[in-house]
């Protein structure tokens, strides 16, 4: 998953983090997050996508929205989620679809970008 620039974000599931590479040369850049439940931490991240300047991460039972530097912006964990495994950003980048095969459901989340200071 790219950020529209030179970075490629990869869900490193078993290490409970994101690994970031340079998209041009493939070199390692950094890792984001660690194991945990606090915003910015991960528990079995399984999918990652980019939209509207955000990095969206599907985990075991929640979705996190981060800035490309890893700063958490929002955590979504509605009741009834099973185990999230796939993510798709609609072409207009207005919403994100997350596959939840455990409960045989697709969750849809609207992306809203707030203006600085709003």
pLDDT at position 116 is 52
Residue 53 lies in a domain: yes
57: in domain: yes
Domain assignment of residue 58, yes or no = yes
How many separate domains does the chain show? 1
**Mean pLDDT, the chain, integer:** 89
Residue 118 lies in a domain: no
> Which structure tokens are listed for 49?
């996508």
The whole domain housing 86 covers 7-110
| Per-residue pLDDT reduced to its tens digit, 74-92 | 999 877 888 898 999 988 8
| Residue 116 belongs to some domain of the structure | no
CATH code of the domain in which 86 resides: 2.120.10.30
Is 26 within the bounds of a domain? yes
Tell whether pTM > 0.85: yes
Task: Specify which residues 106 forms β-bridges with.
Answer: 99
Query: Which pLDDT does position 4 carry in this prediction?
Result: 52
In a domain, 16, yes or no: yes
**CA atoms of 16 and 19, how far apart (whole Å):** 10
pLDDT at 12: 97
pLDDT at residue 68 is higher than 90: yes
């Amino acid at each position: 998953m790219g950020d529209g620039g030179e970075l490629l974000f990869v869900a490193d599931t078993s290490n409970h983090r994101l690994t970031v590479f340079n998209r041009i040369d493939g070199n390692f850049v950094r890792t984001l997050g660690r194991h945990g439940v606090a915003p910015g931490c991960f528990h079995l991240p399984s999918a990652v996508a980019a939209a509207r300047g955000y990095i969206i991460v599907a985990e075991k039972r929640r979705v996190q929205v981060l800035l490309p530097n890893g700063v958490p912006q929002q955590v979504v964990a509605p009741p009834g989620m099973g185990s999230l495994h796939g993510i798709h950003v609609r072409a207009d980048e207005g919403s994100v679809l997350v596959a939840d095969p455990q409960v045989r459901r697709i969750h849809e989340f609207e992306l809203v970008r707030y203006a600085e200071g709003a």
